[in-house]
Amino acid sequence: MKKHKIVLIGFTLLMGLLSIFNSYSNVNASTTKYRSTTPVALRGTWYHLYDKKEGYDKPFVEKITINKHSMVDVFQKSRLHSRGKHFVISYEKMALKLHGYKTKHINFYSMWDQGDTPDYLSTYLRVNGKLSHVMLQTPQNGPFPIFTHFKPSKSYTISGEYKY
């Protein structure tokens, strides 16, 4: 009889731990959401000039074209184009603190389903003294590259940090 009580108590504790672990993993899994089209704010043609301060010998312009169901990155020589259920974008809301701006809670969108790829976000920043709609790309290290709708004559970056 004593062994049955010990087994019952052990089983109850195990089930309690499993339910706590399951609820914890569901909380973390629910923060990432998915959609089948790119957000309207990110659609269009975006440009960023890379130069010596970003570690390149020759300056060059990266061009990213984002449509409803496709994304083409000329610099990476990569194309993501699919339709319907095959085109999935994951996004997550995170806190972003940029130098000179207040903390914002913005959706970070990932349009690639493979490997360690950057996230993109849409916001408004001062570029060349004017408030402009820009797209930021999450960096591996260093400042955020600022993508604009116009071909820039100089490199625009902003330092900041984001928290998951």
d(CA 114, CA 107): 19
Give tens-digit pLDDT for 14-67: 555 555 555 444 444 447 888 888 899 999 999 999 888 777 788 889 999 998
Sign of CA dihedral 38, 128, 145, 105: negative
Q: Give me the residues paired with residue 147 across strands.
A: 135
Q: What is the pLDDT of residues 114-133, one digit of tens each?
A: 667 788 999 999 998 999 99
Q: What are the tokens at 85?
A: 């259920």
Cut 0.95: pTM above it: no
